[in-house]
Structure 1
Protein backbone atom coordinates (compact mmCIF):
# COMPACT_ATOMS: atom_id res chain seq x y z
CA UNK A 1 0.00 0.00 0.00
CA UNK A 2 2.85 2.41 0.78
CA UNK A 3 5.27 1.29 -1.94
CA UNK A 4 4.69 4.36 -4.12
CA UNK A 5 5.39 6.70 -1.18
CA UNK A 6 8.50 4.72 -0.22
CA UNK A 7 9.80 4.89 -3.80
CA UNK A 8 9.04 8.62 -3.96
CA UNK A 9 11.08 9.27 -0.80
CA UNK A 10 13.93 6.96 -1.82
CA UNK A 11 14.20 8.67 -5.20
CA UNK A 12 14.63 12.07 -3.52
CA UNK A 13 16.86 11.39 -0.53
CA UNK A 14 19.18 8.95 1.15
CA UNK A 15 16.97 7.25 3.69
CA UNK A 16 17.62 4.30 5.97
CA UNK A 17 15.13 1.48 6.33
CA UNK A 18 14.40 2.60 9.88
CA UNK A 19 13.75 6.19 8.80
CA UNK A 20 11.55 5.05 5.94
CA UNK A 21 9.52 2.91 8.31
CA UNK A 22 9.15 5.85 10.71
CA UNK A 23 7.98 8.13 7.88
CA UNK A 24 5.49 5.69 6.38
CA UNK A 25 4.03 4.77 9.78
CA UNK A 26 2.65 8.32 10.14
CA UNK A 27 0.72 8.31 6.86
CA UNK A 28 -2.83 6.99 6.70
CA UNK A 29 -4.64 5.69 3.65
CA UNK A 30 -7.68 7.61 2.42
CA UNK A 31 -9.94 7.12 -0.58
CA UNK A 32 -11.83 10.09 -1.97
CA UNK A 33 -14.81 10.44 -4.25
CA UNK A 34 -14.94 12.64 -7.32
CA UNK A 35 -15.18 16.34 -6.31
CA UNK A 36 -14.60 15.59 -2.62
CA UNK A 37 -13.34 18.67 -0.80
CA UNK A 38 -10.21 18.10 1.30
CA UNK A 39 -9.77 21.71 2.43
CA UNK A 40 -12.48 24.28 1.83
CA UNK A 41 -12.27 28.04 1.58
CA UNK A 42 -11.86 29.54 5.05
CA UNK A 43 -10.78 26.25 6.67
CA UNK A 44 -7.34 25.85 8.14
CA UNK A 45 -5.52 23.05 6.33
CA UNK A 46 -4.25 20.38 8.69
CA UNK A 47 -3.10 17.68 6.25
CA UNK A 48 -0.53 16.98 3.58
CA UNK A 49 -1.32 14.48 0.81
CA UNK A 50 0.64 12.04 -1.32
CA UNK A 51 -1.32 10.93 -4.36
CA UNK A 52 -1.10 7.23 -4.96
CA UNK A 53 -3.82 7.32 -7.63
CA UNK A 54 -5.98 10.17 -8.85
CA UNK A 55 -5.87 13.92 -9.23
CA UNK A 56 -6.23 16.85 -6.85
CA UNK A 57 -6.86 20.48 -7.78
CA UNK A 58 -6.00 23.60 -5.78
CA UNK A 59 -8.02 26.65 -6.77
CA UNK A 60 -9.49 29.90 -5.51
CA UNK A 61 -12.40 32.07 -6.58
CA UNK A 62 -11.77 35.67 -7.60
CA UNK A 63 -13.93 38.69 -6.73
CA UNK A 64 -15.98 38.11 -9.92
CA UNK A 65 -16.77 34.52 -8.96
CA UNK A 66 -14.35 32.94 -11.45
CA UNK A 67 -12.37 29.87 -10.49
CA UNK A 68 -8.60 30.29 -10.76
CA UNK A 69 -6.66 27.06 -10.63
CA UNK A 70 -3.25 27.31 -9.03
CA UNK A 71 -2.12 23.72 -9.32
CA UNK A 72 -3.07 20.19 -10.33
CA UNK A 73 -1.36 17.20 -8.72
CA UNK A 74 -1.40 13.74 -10.24
CA UNK A 75 0.04 10.40 -9.16
CA UNK A 76 3.23 10.40 -7.11
CA UNK A 77 2.95 14.05 -6.15
CA UNK A 78 2.68 15.82 -2.83
CA UNK A 79 0.12 18.56 -2.32
CA UNK A 80 -1.59 20.62 0.33
CA UNK A 81 -3.24 24.01 0.61
CA UNK A 82 0.32 25.15 1.27
CA UNK A 83 -0.14 28.66 2.62
CA UNK A 84 -2.86 27.59 5.04
CA UNK A 85 -0.96 24.43 6.03
CA UNK A 86 2.27 26.28 6.71
CA UNK A 87 0.86 29.39 8.40
CA UNK A 88 -2.21 27.77 9.99
CA UNK A 89 -4.43 30.53 8.66
CA UNK A 90 -7.81 30.14 6.94
CA UNK A 91 -7.32 29.00 3.36
CA UNK A 92 -8.00 31.22 0.36
CA UNK A 93 -7.89 28.05 -1.70
CA UNK A 94 -10.02 24.97 -2.05
CA UNK A 95 -8.30 21.59 -2.38
CA UNK A 96 -10.54 19.09 -4.12
CA UNK A 97 -10.24 15.57 -5.51
CA UNK A 98 -11.13 15.82 -9.22
CA UNK A 99 -11.57 12.08 -9.57
CA UNK A 100 -11.83 9.13 -7.21
CA UNK A 101 -8.39 9.07 -5.64
CA UNK A 102 -6.22 6.99 -3.34
CA UNK A 103 -4.25 9.23 -1.03
CA UNK A 104 -1.75 8.84 1.76
CA UNK A 105 -2.38 11.54 4.35
CA UNK A 106 -0.28 12.93 7.17
CA UNK A 107 -1.37 15.43 9.80
CA UNK A 108 0.48 18.69 10.30
CA UNK A 109 1.93 17.82 13.73
CA UNK A 110 3.37 14.52 12.47
CA UNK A 111 4.52 16.15 9.24
CA UNK A 112 6.62 18.80 10.97
CA UNK A 113 7.86 16.28 13.53
CA UNK A 114 9.34 14.32 10.60
CA UNK A 115 10.78 17.50 9.06
CA UNK A 116 12.51 18.28 12.38
CA UNK A 117 13.72 14.78 13.26
CA UNK A 118 14.30 12.86 10.01
CA UNK A 119 16.82 14.53 7.67
CA UNK A 120 15.67 12.46 4.69
CA UNK A 121 12.11 13.72 5.11
CA UNK A 122 13.33 17.28 5.61
CA UNK A 123 15.16 16.94 2.29
CA UNK A 124 11.98 15.76 0.55
CA UNK A 125 10.07 18.67 2.06
CA UNK A 126 12.66 21.22 0.99
CA UNK A 127 12.61 19.82 -2.55
CA UNK A 128 8.83 20.10 -2.54
CA UNK A 129 8.95 23.73 -1.39
CA UNK A 130 11.61 24.56 -4.00
CA UNK A 131 9.56 22.91 -6.75
CA UNK A 132 6.39 24.73 -5.66
CA UNK A 133 8.22 28.06 -5.70
CA UNK A 134 9.89 27.48 -9.07
CA UNK A 135 6.66 26.20 -10.64
CA UNK A 136 4.77 29.21 -9.33
CA UNK A 137 7.38 31.67 -10.58
CA UNK A 138 7.58 29.96 -13.94
CA UNK A 139 3.81 30.15 -14.41
CA UNK A 140 3.61 33.78 -13.29
CA UNK A 141 6.44 35.01 -15.50
CA UNK A 142 5.58 32.77 -18.43
CA UNK A 143 1.94 33.78 -18.43
CA UNK A 144 2.47 37.52 -18.04
CA UNK A 145 2.10 38.97 -21.49
CA UNK A 146 1.67 35.58 -23.14
CA UNK A 147 -1.02 35.15 -25.75
CA UNK A 148 -3.58 32.42 -25.14
CA UNK A 149 -2.12 30.14 -27.81
CA UNK A 150 1.30 30.39 -26.18
CA UNK A 151 -0.15 29.50 -22.76
CA UNK A 152 -1.73 26.40 -24.29
CA UNK A 153 1.55 25.44 -25.97
CA UNK A 154 3.32 25.90 -22.61
CA UNK A 155 0.94 23.42 -20.96
CA UNK A 156 1.32 21.01 -23.86
CA UNK A 157 5.09 21.12 -23.41
CA UNK A 158 5.38 21.20 -19.60
CA UNK A 159 2.23 19.46 -18.36
CA UNK A 160 0.75 17.43 -21.23
CA UNK A 161 -1.15 15.01 -18.97
CA UNK A 162 -3.45 17.84 -17.90
CA UNK A 163 -5.04 18.12 -21.33
CA UNK A 164 -5.95 14.44 -21.38
CA UNK A 165 -7.05 14.02 -17.75
CA UNK A 166 -8.55 17.30 -16.62
CA UNK A 167 -11.79 18.91 -17.78
CA UNK A 168 -11.30 21.71 -20.27
CA UNK A 169 -13.09 24.09 -17.88
CA UNK A 170 -10.52 23.40 -15.14
CA UNK A 171 -7.59 23.66 -17.59
CA UNK A 172 -8.99 26.95 -18.87
CA UNK A 173 -9.09 28.30 -15.30
CA UNK A 174 -5.45 27.23 -14.90
CA UNK A 175 -4.54 29.16 -18.05
CA UNK A 176 -6.56 32.24 -17.12
CA UNK A 177 -9.05 32.01 -19.98
CA UNK A 178 -12.62 30.92 -20.62
CA UNK A 179 -13.52 27.41 -21.65
CA UNK A 180 -14.74 28.65 -25.06
CA UNK A 181 -11.43 30.43 -25.68
CA UNK A 182 -9.53 27.24 -24.82
CA UNK A 183 -11.72 25.23 -27.22
CA UNK A 184 -11.05 27.72 -30.06
CA UNK A 185 -7.30 27.64 -29.38
CA UNK A 186 -7.22 23.83 -29.29
CA UNK A 187 -8.95 23.75 -32.67
CA UNK A 188 -6.15 25.94 -34.12
CA UNK A 189 -3.42 23.48 -33.11
Structure 2
Protein backbone atom coordinates (compact mmCIF):
# COMPACT_ATOMS: atom_id res chain seq x y z
CA UNK A 1 0.00 0.00 0.00
CA UNK A 2 1.70 3.19 1.19
CA UNK A 3 4.69 1.71 3.01
CA UNK A 4 6.74 3.35 0.24
CA UNK A 5 6.01 6.75 1.83
CA UNK A 6 7.53 5.50 5.09
CA UNK A 7 10.43 3.87 3.21
CA UNK A 8 11.09 7.17 1.40
CA UNK A 9 10.94 9.03 4.72
CA UNK A 10 13.43 6.58 6.27
CA UNK A 11 15.81 6.85 3.28
CA UNK A 12 15.80 10.66 3.62
CA UNK A 13 16.03 10.82 7.42
CA UNK A 14 18.21 7.87 8.42
CA UNK A 15 21.36 6.13 7.25
CA UNK A 16 19.34 3.08 6.17
CA UNK A 17 20.01 1.95 2.62
CA UNK A 18 17.11 1.40 0.23
CA UNK A 19 16.72 -2.31 1.01
CA UNK A 20 16.85 -1.81 4.80
CA UNK A 21 14.41 1.13 4.64
CA UNK A 22 11.98 -1.01 2.65
CA UNK A 23 12.37 -3.88 5.15
CA UNK A 24 11.69 -1.60 8.14
CA UNK A 25 8.69 -0.01 6.39
CA UNK A 26 7.26 -3.43 5.52
CA UNK A 27 7.00 -4.25 9.25
CA UNK A 28 4.38 -1.50 9.63
CA UNK A 29 0.71 -2.09 8.82
CA UNK A 30 -1.58 0.45 7.15
CA UNK A 31 -4.51 1.55 9.30
CA UNK A 32 -7.13 4.13 8.34
CA UNK A 33 -8.86 6.03 11.13
CA UNK A 34 -11.78 8.43 11.18
CA UNK A 35 -11.77 11.94 12.58
CA UNK A 36 -11.88 11.93 16.41
CA UNK A 37 -11.20 8.19 16.59
CA UNK A 38 -9.42 7.25 19.82
CA UNK A 39 -6.20 5.40 19.04
CA UNK A 40 -4.71 5.10 22.54
CA UNK A 41 -6.82 5.50 25.68
CA UNK A 42 -6.00 7.08 29.00
CA UNK A 43 -5.27 4.33 31.51
CA UNK A 44 -4.18 1.79 28.91
CA UNK A 45 -0.60 0.72 28.30
CA UNK A 46 0.63 2.00 24.95
CA UNK A 47 1.95 -0.72 22.71
CA UNK A 48 2.36 0.92 19.29
CA UNK A 49 4.28 3.50 17.28
CA UNK A 50 2.45 5.43 14.56
CA UNK A 51 3.79 7.02 11.39
CA UNK A 52 1.40 9.41 9.68
CA UNK A 53 1.05 9.00 5.92
CA UNK A 54 -1.87 11.41 5.78
CA UNK A 55 -3.74 13.38 8.42
CA UNK A 56 -3.14 14.69 11.92
CA UNK A 57 -3.03 13.07 15.37
CA UNK A 58 -3.36 14.84 18.70
CA UNK A 59 -1.85 13.72 22.02
CA UNK A 60 -3.52 15.21 25.07
CA UNK A 61 -4.75 14.59 28.59
CA UNK A 62 -7.74 15.80 30.54
CA UNK A 63 -7.02 17.54 33.85
CA UNK A 64 -9.04 17.13 37.07
CA UNK A 65 -11.26 20.07 36.05
CA UNK A 66 -12.10 18.43 32.72
CA UNK A 67 -9.90 20.72 30.61
CA UNK A 68 -7.95 19.34 27.67
CA UNK A 69 -4.19 19.87 27.87
CA UNK A 70 -2.64 19.23 24.48
CA UNK A 71 0.93 17.98 24.49
CA UNK A 72 1.53 17.54 20.79
CA UNK A 73 0.11 17.49 17.28
CA UNK A 74 1.71 15.34 14.59
CA UNK A 75 1.17 15.72 10.86
CA UNK A 76 2.22 13.87 7.71
CA UNK A 77 5.65 12.24 7.67
CA UNK A 78 6.07 12.14 11.43
CA UNK A 79 5.95 9.60 14.22
CA UNK A 80 3.83 9.81 17.35
CA UNK A 81 2.94 7.65 20.32
CA UNK A 82 2.20 7.97 24.00
CA UNK A 83 5.93 7.85 24.64
CA UNK A 84 6.01 7.75 28.45
CA UNK A 85 3.61 4.80 28.53
CA UNK A 86 5.34 3.06 25.65
CA UNK A 87 8.75 3.27 27.34
CA UNK A 88 7.70 2.55 30.93
CA UNK A 89 4.85 0.16 30.05
CA UNK A 90 2.75 1.89 32.70
CA UNK A 91 -0.84 3.11 32.18
CA UNK A 92 -0.94 6.25 30.09
CA UNK A 93 -2.18 9.65 31.19
CA UNK A 94 -2.46 10.53 27.51
CA UNK A 95 -5.17 10.14 24.94
CA UNK A 96 -4.06 9.78 21.33
CA UNK A 97 -6.80 10.71 18.89
CA UNK A 98 -7.09 11.29 15.17
CA UNK A 99 -7.68 14.99 14.72
CA UNK A 100 -8.41 14.47 11.02
CA UNK A 101 -9.28 11.36 9.03
CA UNK A 102 -5.86 9.76 8.83
CA UNK A 103 -3.88 7.00 7.20
CA UNK A 104 -1.30 5.58 9.58
CA UNK A 105 1.51 3.09 9.46
CA UNK A 106 1.43 1.15 12.75
CA UNK A 107 3.93 -1.15 14.39
CA UNK A 108 3.77 -2.87 17.75
CA UNK A 109 6.33 -2.08 20.44
CA UNK A 110 8.15 -5.43 20.31
CA UNK A 111 8.52 -5.38 16.53
CA UNK A 112 9.70 -1.77 16.62
CA UNK A 113 12.43 -2.44 19.17
CA UNK A 114 13.45 -5.60 17.31
CA UNK A 115 14.06 -3.40 14.26
CA UNK A 116 16.17 -1.00 16.34
CA UNK A 117 18.31 -3.98 17.36
CA UNK A 118 18.54 -5.33 13.82
CA UNK A 119 19.38 -2.02 12.13
CA UNK A 120 21.81 0.32 13.91
CA UNK A 121 20.82 3.31 11.70
CA UNK A 122 17.19 2.81 12.74
CA UNK A 123 18.22 2.71 16.41
CA UNK A 124 20.16 5.94 15.87
CA UNK A 125 17.07 7.48 14.27
CA UNK A 126 14.95 6.40 17.27
CA UNK A 127 17.49 7.91 19.69
CA UNK A 128 17.51 11.18 17.76
CA UNK A 129 13.70 11.19 17.72
CA UNK A 130 13.63 10.79 21.51
CA UNK A 131 16.21 13.54 21.90
CA UNK A 132 14.18 15.85 19.65
CA UNK A 133 10.98 15.12 21.61
CA UNK A 134 12.75 15.92 24.88
CA UNK A 135 14.30 19.13 23.57
CA UNK A 136 11.04 20.27 21.98
CA UNK A 137 9.09 19.61 25.19
CA UNK A 138 11.70 21.36 27.32
CA UNK A 139 11.86 24.37 24.99
CA UNK A 140 8.10 24.63 25.04
CA UNK A 141 7.87 24.35 28.83
CA UNK A 142 10.63 26.87 29.54
CA UNK A 143 9.47 29.23 26.84
CA UNK A 144 5.86 29.14 27.90
CA UNK A 145 6.51 29.56 31.64
CA UNK A 146 7.84 33.07 31.24
CA UNK A 147 5.91 34.16 28.18
CA UNK A 148 2.93 36.39 27.85
CA UNK A 149 0.08 35.03 25.72
CA UNK A 150 1.05 37.04 22.64
CA UNK A 151 4.60 35.68 22.83
CA UNK A 152 3.28 32.10 23.02
CA UNK A 153 1.29 32.73 19.85
CA UNK A 154 4.36 34.21 18.13
CA UNK A 155 6.34 31.10 19.22
CA UNK A 156 3.78 28.88 17.50
CA UNK A 157 3.88 31.06 14.38
CA UNK A 158 7.66 30.65 14.26
CA UNK A 159 8.05 26.99 15.30
CA UNK A 160 4.76 25.29 14.39
CA UNK A 161 2.83 27.45 11.88
CA UNK A 162 0.87 24.47 10.54
CA UNK A 163 -1.08 24.42 13.81
CA UNK A 164 -2.76 27.69 12.93
CA UNK A 165 -3.89 26.50 9.52
CA UNK A 166 -4.90 22.88 10.27
CA UNK A 167 -6.04 22.90 13.89
CA UNK A 168 -9.05 24.59 15.48
CA UNK A 169 -8.52 27.64 17.68
CA UNK A 170 -9.88 25.68 20.65
CA UNK A 171 -7.24 22.96 20.21
CA UNK A 172 -4.46 25.52 19.67
CA UNK A 173 -5.58 27.32 22.83
CA UNK A 174 -5.36 24.00 24.70
CA UNK A 175 -1.82 23.56 23.38
CA UNK A 176 -0.88 27.09 24.48
CA UNK A 177 -2.50 26.79 27.91
CA UNK A 178 -5.10 29.52 27.44
CA UNK A 179 -8.78 29.87 26.70
CA UNK A 180 -10.14 30.06 23.19
CA UNK A 181 -11.41 33.60 23.77
CA UNK A 182 -7.94 34.72 24.92
CA UNK A 183 -6.41 33.20 21.80
CA UNK A 184 -8.96 35.00 19.59
CA UNK A 185 -8.10 38.34 21.22
CA UNK A 186 -4.38 37.69 20.76
CA UNK A 187 -4.80 36.75 17.10
CA UNK A 188 -6.58 40.07 16.53
CA UNK A 189 -3.49 41.91 17.88
CA UNK A 190 -1.13 40.32 15.34
**TM-score category by the smaller chain?**
over 0.9
Give the structure 1 partner of residue 101 of structure 2: 100
Consecutive unaligned residues in structure 1, runs of 5 or more: none
Contact 2:32 2:102 in 1 (8 A): yes
* 1:18 Cα deviation after fit: 3.2
Give the structure 2 partner of residue 43 of structure 1: 44
* 1:100 Cα deviation after fit: 0.2
Q: Which runs of 4+ in 1 moved over 6 A?
A: none
**Over aligned residue pairs, what C-alpha RMSD do you find?**
0.9
The separation in 1 between residues aligned to 2:105 and 2:145, in whole angstroms, is 35
Give the structure 2 partner of residue 72 of structure 1: 73
Question: Which secondary structure does the structure 1 equivalent of 2:13 belong to?
Answer: coil
* 1:8 Cα deviation after fit: 1.5
Consecutive unaligned residues in structure 2, runs of 5 or more: none
Question: Which secondary structure does the structure 2 equivalent of 1:102 belong to?
Answer: strand
Which range is displaced more, 1-10 or 151-160? 1-10
Give the structure 2 partner of residue 81 of structure 1: 82
Matched, 1:14 2:11: no
Q: What TM-score, normalized to structure 2? A: 0.97
Matched, 1:58 2:59: yes
Contact 1:57 1:98 in 2 (8 A): yes
Q: What TM-score, normalized to structure 1? A: 0.97
The separation in 2 between residues aligned to 1:131 and 1:72, in whole angstroms, is 14
Figure out how many residues of one structure are paired with residues of the other and give that number. 189
Question: Which secondary structure does the structure 2 equivalent of 1:11 belong to?
Answer: helix
What are the superposed Cα offsets for residues 1-44 of structure 1, whole Å, 9 maximum, x if unpaired? 12221122112222123322321121000000000001011011
The separation in 2 between residues aligned to 1:30 and 1:36, in whole angstroms, is 12
Give the structure 2 partner of residue 90 of structure 1: 91
Matched, 1:34 2:32: no
